[in-house]
Structure 1
Amino acid sequence: MSLAEARVRVVDDTSTARRAAHAYIDLLERRDWSGLAALLAGDVVYEMPQTRERIRGKNAFLRFNTEYPGDWHLRPRRVIADGRLAAVLLDVRVGDEQQDACVWLEMSEHGLISKIIDYWPEPYEPPPGRKHLVERW
């Protein structure tokens, strides 16, 4: 691969990652689970370092989100992408409560989201009722 071809590939990967990041947040906000499923690799891994939880696989991740309680809303404040990586600074609201969160996305070579890491401001114990979907570390 020539240097020019490598540069085009990085630009294409970066554009794909940026579009996927925007789509990911939009689909979650709209609760469009079938649209979200189309954006995810089958073996996607989702991690929440503050609770030390990990979810493996598209079906478990979708179920986690469909079962997640509350009337939560997401708004991207900033999206940064580089190659197959993207980061999103989020405004997260549940009722009157507002928090900032950061989501890191890794893309597969096929342009699907293969890893998601959600960072929240403070560590916390996970809510009950999701042990069937997560592993703790």
Structure 2
Amino acid sequence: MDNTAATRQTAHEYVDRLEGRDWPGLAGLLTDDVVYEMPQTRERIRGRDAFLRFTIDYPGDWHLRVRRLVADDRMAALWLDVRVGAEQLDACVWIEVSHSGLISRIVDYWPAPYDPPPGREHLTERW
């Protein structure tokens, strides 16, 4: 398997193991010193054990589904459909894979919808 296919598979497995609450399986995908970041809250978690504890303790009945995945040799970008109860959210996740094939960095972006500023209605179309 080439590196791009391996990175792609690792990214899919990451989401599958989160969705399945397969904590030992998730741990097996991560480097010991994995770094997890959420830019919107400016939070960073260092290390596999801390990331697993954060994820295991995350509140709510959340579910993940991959909408789109793009990958190259060492990075993957995922667009996720996230459900928390009846609420639907979009998330963008960037995953970096080390030379060992394990995930070394995860960056979660949780874009929130907002109304655009006035003055560009003549250029745009809303959906």
TM range, normalised to the smaller chain? 0.7 to 0.9
Q: What is the aligned partner in structure 1 of residue 15 from structure 2?
A: 25
- For residue 12 of structure 1, report the CA deviation from its aligned partner: 1.8
User: Quick one: higher RCO (CA 8 Å, sep 6+), 1 or 2?
Assistant: 1
Q: State the SS of the aligned residue for 1:64.
A: helix
Q: What is the aligned partner in structure 2 of residue 80 from structure 1?
A: 70
Whole-Å Cα distance in 1 between the matches of residues 14 and 94 of structure 2?
A: 11
Counterpart of 1:91 (choices 81, 89, 93) is 81
- For residue 60 of structure 1, report the CA deviation from its aligned partner: 0.1
Whole-Å Cα distance in 1 between the matches of residues 45 and 15 of structure 2?
A: 18
TM-score between both structures, scaled by the size of structure 1: 0.80
Matched to 1:40, the amino acid is L
Whole-Å Cα distance in 2 between the matches of residues 30 and 36 of structure 1?
A: 10
| Segments ≥4 residues shifted beyond 2 Å | none
Is residue 68 of structure 1 aligned with residue 53 of structure 2? no
- For residue 16 of structure 1, report the CA deviation from its aligned partner: 1.2
Greater helix share, structure number: 1
Spell out, residue by residue over 1:89-137, the C-alpha distance to the aligned partner (whole angstroms, 9 max, x if none): 0000001100110000000000000000000013xxxxxxxxxxxxxxx
Q: State the SS of the aligned residue for 1:88.
A: strand
Whole-Å Cα distance in 1 between the matches of residues 45 and 66 of structure 2?
A: 23
Spell out, residue by residue over 1:43-69, the C-alpha distance to the aligned partner (whole angstroms, 9 max, x if none): 000000000000000000000001000
Identical counterparts, % of pairs: 68
Q: How does 1:1-137 map to 2 (within 5 A)?
A: 12-122=2-112
Matched to 1:50, the amino acid is Q
Whole-Å Cα distance in 2 between the matches of residues 73 and 89 of structure 1?
A: 14
Count of residues in correspondence between the two structures? 112
